Each structure stands twice: as structure tokens, then as C-alpha cells.
């Protein structure tokens, strides 16, 4: 039995589908009451309060922890504590955590929290596996969607690059780690197939959407976190194992007539 936290999220959805297709007994945690679905048994629970965690974890051999609140990032650390405590009470399952490349090098708040969660898991005494990946395609896509809602020039940070990866490929890797069974501690980072500048990504995005907008890169990201991103600590060019490119992702979202 495999429990996926954040099973309703961008990553959780393809992950639970792959696990169910592989014949696993897949359980998902959500704050909402959800109707049973093909291959997924849902548990209502909240990592903020601890509600429902023991029941969701009962009988789990593996937990894939994908739940997160990036906009209320401080909550992720106490949430991980509650999850670990419940896991200890429920037979110490293998805990798999999805993290981000560069969390130990870039002092950006969300990354600092994710790194603290990594360390908590490493010191938990539970069998664990941690996978760090670069940004999913959906993240820069959402950011570009937001900036193009405002009319006029699109201003992007100077010197910012990204190595976006397909969320389905990340789900495949997590499913492989979950189904293989054994804890593997920190596994190799996983990056998308190519490193692109923010400007290249924005131009491809605009073209895919048929939009004509001027793009400028006036200023670098400020501060120490900005420097970490400029220096590319969030990239994994030595682990460019992803297959699907940014252009392929855009073509699928915006098929040409
Ligand atoms: N996006 C990226 O580029 C990227 C890159 C590398 C790693 N990651 C990591 O991948 C993980 C998943 O990201 P995602 O993009 O799939 O996130 P997402 O779409 O925002 O989904 C977040 C999930 O967390 C659950 N959740 C939030 N607060 C909760 C709480 N208090 N109790 C229980 N569940 C809670 C939500 O479930 P309900 O609403 O159903 O309760 C939701 O399914 C995160 O840890 C993220 O840091 C993301």
C-alpha cells in the first residue's frame, strides 16, 4: 500500500495514476472529501492539524510526500513533523520526498524550508528517499500566464535561466522509486533536457499563444537568493535526463490549427 500526500496536486495526479496502473494499492491524502476514483482510495486529512493522518497511514508500506503549501511555506516544516510522527506510530514506512535542485544553496525562503524538511527526514530514523528535480514546465508557464495578463512590456529578470522538466517524467521516477521498495537516501538529481534563458522561454510561450508583446530583461533578481538563481544553483545540467522539451510542452498546450 502506497500513500501519496498531495495526491490531488500537479505531481500527485500523474503519480497516483501511474502507481494505480502498475497495480499498487494507492491511497491519497487530501484536505477535501473526495469521491473514490479509479485505483485511488482517498483519505481526508490535514497536515496542518494532524487530522486523519494515522488513519491514512495505517498499513502504508511507502509514503510519497508531495503535499506542500508554497504560498504559506512556513507550514511545510511542522507539516513534515506531523507526518513523520504519524509514520513512526504506524510502522515506519519508507518515506519518499520530492524536493528541488538547489535547496541547499539558494537562500530563497521556500527552498530553505524544503531543505529543512529534507534534513528532518534524514534525521527521522525512517527509511527514506529524497529526489530533487528542477522546475516543472507548469511553473514557468503559470508565471508567464500571470505576467502576460498585465498589458504592455514583459519584464523578466536578467540572467535568469531555467531547466524545466515534464511533471509526468518526475511522476515516473517517483513511481519507480516507490515500487522498487527500498530506501535509497538522496538519489541523483533530475533535470529537464535543456537550459533556457527566461527570455527564450517567454518568446517561445508568446509565439505558442499567438501573442505579440515586447520582452525586456532590465534588471537581475536582487539579493542573495537572486544571486543563487543567477549562478544557476537551481539547474542540473549534469543530470539533464528529462525528455520532453519546453517547446513540446507548449505545442501540446497550444496545438497549431
Ligand atoms: N512545481 C515545481 O516546479 C516543483 C519542482 C520540484 C519539486 N516540486 C515539489 O513537488 C511537490 C508537489 O508540487 P505540486 O506542484 O504538485 O503542488 P500542488 O499542485 O500545489 O499541490 C499541492 C498539494 O498539497 C496538498 N496540501 C496542501 N496543504 C495540505 C495540508 N495542510 N494537508 C494535506 N495536504 C495538503 C494539496 O492537497 P488538497 O488541496 O487536496 O488538500 C495539493 O494536492 C511540492 O513539494 C513541490 O515543492 C515542485
CA dihedral 114, 165, 45, 103 (to 10 degrees): 0
Q: Is the pLDDT of residue 96 over 90?
A: yes
Residue 234 C-alpha to ligand 1 middle, in angstroms? 19
3-class SS of residue 235: coil
Helices then strands, counting H and E runs in the chain, come out as 9, 11
Judge if the beta carbon of residue 6 lies within 6 A of ligand 1: yes
- What CA–CA distance (Å, rounded) separates 92 from 113? 23
Q: How confident is the prediction for the chain on average, in pLDDT?
A: 96
Report the pLDDT averaged over residues 13-25: 97
According to DSSP H, which parts of 26-75 are helical?
53-57
Averaged pLDDT for residues 85-91 = 97
User: Domain containing 115 — which CATH number?
Assistant: 3.40.50.720
Q: Which atom of ligand 1 is nearest to the CA of 47?
A: 32
pLDDT at 257: 75
The residue range of the domain holding 131 is: 2-135+167-186
Number of domains in the chain: 1
HSE value, Cβ hemisphere, 13 Å, CA-based, for 250: 20
Is residue 67 assigned to a domain? yes
66 lines ligand 1 (CB under 6 A): yes
Q: What local confidence, expressed as pLDDT, does residue 37 receive?
A: 84
Are the CB atoms for 103 and 131 separated by under 8 Å? Answer: no
Model confidence pTM above 0.95: yes
Per the domain annotation, does 148 fall within a domain? no
Residue with cell string 507548469: 138
67 in contact with ligand 1, CB cutoff 6 A: yes
47 in ligand 1 pocket by Cβ < 6 Å?
yes
User: 76 C-alpha to center of ligand 1: Å?
Assistant: 10
Domain assignment of residue 41, yes or no: yes
Classify residue 76: in a domain, yes or no: yes
Asked if pLDDT for residue 218 goes beyond 90, the answer is no
Residue 240 lies in a domain: no
Residues 139-163, mean pLDDT to the nearest whole number = 95
CA-proximal residue: ligand 1, atom 35 (nearest): 67
Segment 50-58 shows an average pLDDT of 98
- Domain assignment present for residue 130? The answer is yes
- Are 35 and 27 contacting, i.e. CB atoms less than 8 angstroms apart? no
CA 64–ligand 1 middle distance (angstroms): 11
Q: Which atom of ligand 1 is nearest to the CA of 11?
A: 16
Amino acid at each position: 500500500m502506497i500513500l501519496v500526500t498531495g495526491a490531488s496536486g500537479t505531481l500527485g495526479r500523474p503519480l497516483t495514476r501511474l502507481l494505480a496502473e502498475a497495480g499498487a494499492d494507492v491511497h491519497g491524502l487530501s484536505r477535501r472529501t473526495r469521491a473514490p476514483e479509479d485505483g485511488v482510495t482517498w483519505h481526508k486529512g490535514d497536515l496542518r492539524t494532524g487530522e486523519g493522518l494515522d488513519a491514512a497511514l495505517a498499513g502504508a508500506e511507502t509514503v510519497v510526500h508531495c503535499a506542500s503549501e508554497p504560498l504559506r511555506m512556513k507550514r511545510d516544516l511542522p507539516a513534515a513533523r506531523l507526518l513523520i510522527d504519524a509514520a513512526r506510530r504506524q510502522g515506519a514506512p519508507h518515506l519518499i520526498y520530492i524536493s528541488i535542485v538547489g535547496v541547499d544553496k539558494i537562500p530563497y525562503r521556500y527552498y530553505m524550508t524544503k531543505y529543512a524538511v529534507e534534513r528532518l527526514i534524514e534525521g527521522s530514523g525512517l527509511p527514506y528517499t529524497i529526489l530533487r528535480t528542477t522546475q516543472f514546465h507548469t511553473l514557468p508557464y503559470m508565471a508567464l500566464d500571470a505576467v502576460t495578463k498585465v498589458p504592455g512590456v514583459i519584464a523578466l529578470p536578467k540572467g535568469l535561466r531555467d531547466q524545466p522538466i515534464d511533471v509526468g517524467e518526475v511522476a515516473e521516477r517517483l513511481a519507480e522509486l516507490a515500487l522498487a521498495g527500498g530506501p535509497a537516501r538522496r538519489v541523483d538529481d533530475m533535470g529537464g533536457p535543456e537550459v533556457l534563458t527566461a527570455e527564450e522561454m517567454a518568446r517561445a510561450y508568446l509565439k505558442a499563444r499567438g501573442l505579440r508583446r515586447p520582452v525586456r530583461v532590465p534588471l537581475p533578481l536582487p539579493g542573495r537568493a537572486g544571486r543563487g538563481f543567477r549562478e544557476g544553483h537551481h539547474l542540473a545540467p549534469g543530470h539533464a535526463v528529462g525528455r520532453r522539451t519546453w517547446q513540446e510542452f507548449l505545442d501540446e498546450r497550444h496545438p497549431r490549427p
